[in-house]
Structure 1
């Protein structure tokens, strides 16, 4: 008899933005705890296939799925393919974030009052529209099955409201959290839970680029009670828990994994 309280009992999981960083570690965590298959989504085909190979090496079926989560038709096709090749998706981790495949502008961001919708769209498309597209398709698979786990990765920016070019990102992440709470109310009667995980600065490629300047890195860490950056494993541990039956009576919550960056209720 398994003593793993986070055993996933052969359920199929789909992780967006899983080609590196937190998403990669989540895919590997799910594979290590009994997922019946893992759909590794990423906008970059090479990254998706690389992580899918790691999942297969762990003895779990994997599907590399290249799709822009902001494209509803592409997301729908991805879920249909997942269902046909691995089985109904029982676990969705909305992890894709930042600007997706869109390159980050160089230099200091312009103040909000100088920006246009062209500046906003990449942030909204991935962090809000992408969550909506994937969640809608996941529910279409989960409701008939009477079971589902939806975990949406947001940021503490969505809880406290970050400035210096992060206003739209903050709003999109807050919107994703609000959507997740509404889905929790909707899905409970169908056996579907929905929660968010709010991350602080986590050691991903994006953070690594920002913290190459040691003085800037020290300034960032001064805001954290635990004086280190988060690791992808820190995030993946909480996401695994919320994706498992161990968290079966937890829904509609935003759980911070942030080293004490913020402690608001």
Structure 2
């Protein structure tokens, strides 16, 4: 028996136009799921959906902004019409939303204000609330669901230059723990995957300098940066019935960057 088989399931992955989200979509489709590909950028969402369809999977591209609850609710309804009710939500959209290079300038917290904090909090915290709120009524009614939220080790251990981002990610993890206790009796599990540095288009500028990359890697027990597939492997497990008795947990996928309880 393939415990990772997701045949008959519909998966919605937010922020799936590139990087980790794209790989999660590919992983789920390869294990039989129909996949709704969300991204803020319509061209990216459509490109990944087309890639999945070419490989033989059922897929649809759904552009949209996870910080807009009405928009997310409409997106979930559209996924249901195209592929069937959403069984699995992967909250992957993150960073500062659609900003291309949010890490290029990170001034000290005391030099920032609410206008700087809002994109981080809106995407990484409210985006998780919005998408979860949109899928849960259907999951509760059907008595089945999986919610997997991608957070960051910045939310577990803290990062000096990413305090607001880390706070938003920690908030998302706390929300998921509470939600897990609320919905477990309805056959719904809620978990998080905490990532450290993954080689994606977003992080590429930060590690382009070999000397900078070498210095960063000193903090990793496994001396390499993560790949999108490393993250997707963990998400797939938590999204599948292999993890049916796992809920309210945060799984670090970080190459040993932070080894904490």
* TM-score category of the 2 structures, normalised to the smaller one: over 0.9
Query: 1:107-146 counterparts in 2 under 5 A?
Result: 108-146=105-143
Unpaired runs of 5+ residues, structure 1, are none
Q: What is the CA-CA distance between 1:106 and the residue it aligns to?
A: 8.0
Q: What is the CA-CA distance between 1:14 and the residue it aligns to?
A: 0.0
SS of alignment partner, residue 223 of structure 2: coil
Residues 1:31 and 1:106: Cα distance change in structure 2 (over 3 Å) = closer
What is aligned with 1:213?
Answer: 209
What is aligned with 1:78?
Answer: 75
Query: 1:212-231 counterparts in 2 under 5 A?
Result: 212-231=208-227
Q: What is the CA-CA distance between 1:85 and the residue it aligns to?
A: 1.6
SS of alignment partner, residue 198 of structure 1: strand
Query: Residues of 1 paired with 2:113 and 2:62: CA distance?
Result: 32
Q: What is the CA-CA distance between 1:58 and the residue it aligns to?
A: 2.1
- Offset from partner CA, 1:88-142 (integer Å, 9 cap, x none): 1000000001111135468642211121100001101110000000011111120
CA contact (8 A) 2:103 2:206 kept: no
1:10 aligned to which of 5, 8, 11? 8
What is aligned with 1:242?
Answer: 238
1:161 aligned to which of 155, 158, 162? 158
When the two chains are superposed, the root-mean-square deviation of aligned CA atoms in Å is 1.1
What is aligned with 1:102?
Answer: 99
Q: What is the CA-CA distance between 1:27 and the residue it aligns to?
A: 0.2
Number of aligned residue pairs: give it. Answer: 261
What is aligned with 1:29?
Answer: 27
CA contact (8 A) 1:42 1:48 kept: yes
TM-score (norm 2): 0.97
SS of alignment partner, residue 203 of structure 2: helix
TM-score (norm 1): 0.96
Query: Residues of 1 paired with 2:257 and 2:72: CA distance?
Result: 33
SS of alignment partner, residue 206 of structure 1: coil
Query: Residues of 2 paired with 1:100 and 1:180: CA distance?
Result: 20
2:260 aligned to which of 256, 261, 264? 264
CA contact (8 A) 1:151 1:197 kept: yes
Unpaired runs of 5+ residues, structure 2, are none
Q: What is the CA-CA distance between 1:34 and the residue it aligns to?
A: 1.2
CA contact (8 A) 1:102 1:122 kept: no
What is aligned with 1:252?
Answer: 248
